């Protein structure tokens, strides 16, 4: 069963990569700021949330999808939220449909799925793009602060994705773009990005990094 799921994930990754490859044009300029507090985000209800409201908190920013092989990470993210929210952690969930069209549905439908299936209680933002000309400014900045540093190839999924993406573009790892769903950016209490986690990185590593900042 695990092998079948891995093959399904990899096949979707191979098909989707062509549509998500970075444009040969120059990448969008990253806003000139050293902290996250200059940005705002729309939540699922369409309300603007100034990230300056989160000053002094540790923030984990995640691009998510509801029909991905990594979707069960919602459960682990909720565990982190329950474990550390009282000590100053905030998790911001940004659904994104750019990778294999694995985040279909409206904001309300996505929210209903996440709360109903994984009992999530951390803030869920409106669906956005994270790559390309329509990329959200926050993610353009996050990628500039913490470029892609490779998949965890000790994880079979990471090794497989690396081979598949590299077969499409031998230099795929030289650009900072988000590669797949459930990429995570960890921001410290000063609003600065301290680490990027790819979806194949173990969640225990995310847990340990958060704990060090709290």
Cα separations in angstroms, 161 against 125, 168, 189: 27, 11, 33
Packing angle of the helix pair 107-118, 73-84 (nearest 10 deg): 70
Give residue-wise pLDDT tens across range 88-124. 999 999 999 999 999 999 999 999 999 999 999 999 9
Q: Which domains does the chain have, with CATH numbers?
A: 30-151+175-213 (3.40.30.10)
Show which residues are catalytic. Answer: 68
Give residue-wise pLDDT tens across range 127-150. 999 999 999 999 999 999 999 999
Please state, in angstroms and rounded to a whole number, the distance separating the CA atoms of residues 189 and 183.
20
């Amino acid at each position: 069963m695990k092998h079948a799921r891995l093959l399904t994930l990899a096949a979707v990754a191979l098909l989707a990569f062509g549509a998500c490859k970075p444009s040969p044009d120059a990448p969008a300029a990253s806003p000139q700021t050293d902290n996250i507090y200059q940005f705002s985000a729309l939540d699922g209800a369409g309300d603007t949330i100034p990230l300056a409201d989160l000053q002094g908190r540790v923030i984990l920013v995640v691009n998510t999808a509801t029909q991905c092989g990594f979707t069960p990470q919602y459960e682990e993210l909720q565990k982190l939220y329950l474990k550390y929210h009282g000590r100053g952690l905030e998790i911001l969930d940004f659904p994104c449909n750019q990778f294999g069209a694995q985040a279909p549905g409206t904001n309300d439908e996505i929210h209903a799925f996440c709360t109903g299936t994984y009992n999530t209680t951390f803030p869920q933002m409106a669906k956005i793009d994270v790559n390309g000309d329509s990329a959200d400014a926050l993610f353009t900045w996050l990628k500039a602060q913490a470029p892609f540093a490779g998949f965890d190839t000790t994880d079979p999924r990471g090794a497989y994705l690396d081979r598949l993406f590299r077969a499409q573009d031998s230099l795929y790892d030289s650009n900072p773009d988000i590669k797949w769903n459930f990429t995570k950016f960890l921001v410290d209490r000063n609003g600065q990005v301290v680490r990027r986690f790819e979806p194949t990185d173990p969640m225990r590593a995310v847990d340990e990094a958060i704990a060090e900042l709290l």
